[in-house]
Amino acid sequence: MTHPLSRLLVLSLMLLAGQALAVEPVLVLHGGAGVEKAGLTPQDQAAARAAMESALRAGHAVLARGGSAVEAVAATITVLEDSPQFNAGKGAVFTHDGKNELDAAIMDGSTGNAGTVAGVHRIKNPIQLARTVMDRSKHVMLVGEGAERFAQEQGVSLVDPAYFRTDKRWKQLQKALKEEASGQAHADLETAKHFGTVGALALDTQGRLAAGTSTGGMTNKRYGRVGDSPIIGAGTYANSQCAVSGTGWGEYYIRAVAAYDICARMKYAGQSLDQAAEAVIDEQIPKAGGNGGAIALDAKGNVAFPFNTEGMYRGRIGGDGVPHVAIFKDETL
């Protein structure tokens, strides 16, 4: 018969071992590349930094209580979607027809499960619907009216499309339409630099990775165009070793299968996170004619923030719960 003190000692040792094996949680985010100093007032910068810090704290709160990486990613992106400073959710840009079309994706690196939505008009937080697709459907991607019918069936609240209208985004569309009408530039090329996306990656205390991305697409886009954000492997990807969320000229990220390629380079070529991320974002995509950035996180807690534009909204938070954010290239995290 085991003595009660012996059982207590064993339990104590097991608890200590579990604590020793616990992974230091890490959360990183981006609010879009393509940021230009000339287009940002001090007030704009301050608002964006405050929103990123709030999003990091929301995600960290999930991780601090032992929540999953998927839950933390969804919580972080929800805050960014509710912030009009970014091209996602409330701050989404307008299409050529004066509408807001929203896309989002989330992926659980520990299981390989994923959910995405594209071309929705009435979903306040597309990242939450993407997670619902992952958790409660047999599918990976739902689009347009079908995605919104599914949302209603699942009890996801819808909003009036007017919720997404902001003066800033409307003025951007009017400028793009005038340029198009005057023949100053091919509209798609001229407005491509106005891309924007939000994304988050998390490593939880159990060592699980997750990735998520949400976007309002491209100003003045037509024909129901869908970019890389909701396409698994292009703008969003996670496995047990690596997680990536991209932000840039979506067509090039789709062609490069950019998010997956970063993780594949680590898995099959033995490259480090930094090497893989820089090879894809700073070499391969620019060589093809695109631009943008990404955030990447590995299972050891290493992070990478490659981008080849003047700025990229980005941030990170670790186990200490202190958020760190940056916008321009001369800022380090």
- Which is the catalytic residue, given 76, 197, 236, 309? 197
- How many angstroms separate the CA atoms of 142 and 275, rounded? 34
Instruction: Provide the phi-psi class of 68: left if phi over 0, else alpha when psi is between -120 and 50, else beta.
Output: beta
Structure tokens at 113: 């499960």
Q: Are 195 and 247 in contact (CB under 8 A)?
A: yes
Structure tokens at 288: 């093809």
Strand 26-33 to 209-215 pairing: unpaired
- How many angstroms separate the CA atoms of 256 and 37, rounded? 29
- How many angstroms separate the CA atoms of 224 and 239, rounded? 29
Q: Are 244 and 238 in contact (CB under 8 A)?
A: yes
Phi, then psi, of 263 in degrees rounded to 5: -70, -35
- The verdict on whether 111 is a catalytic residue reads no
Catalytic residues: 197
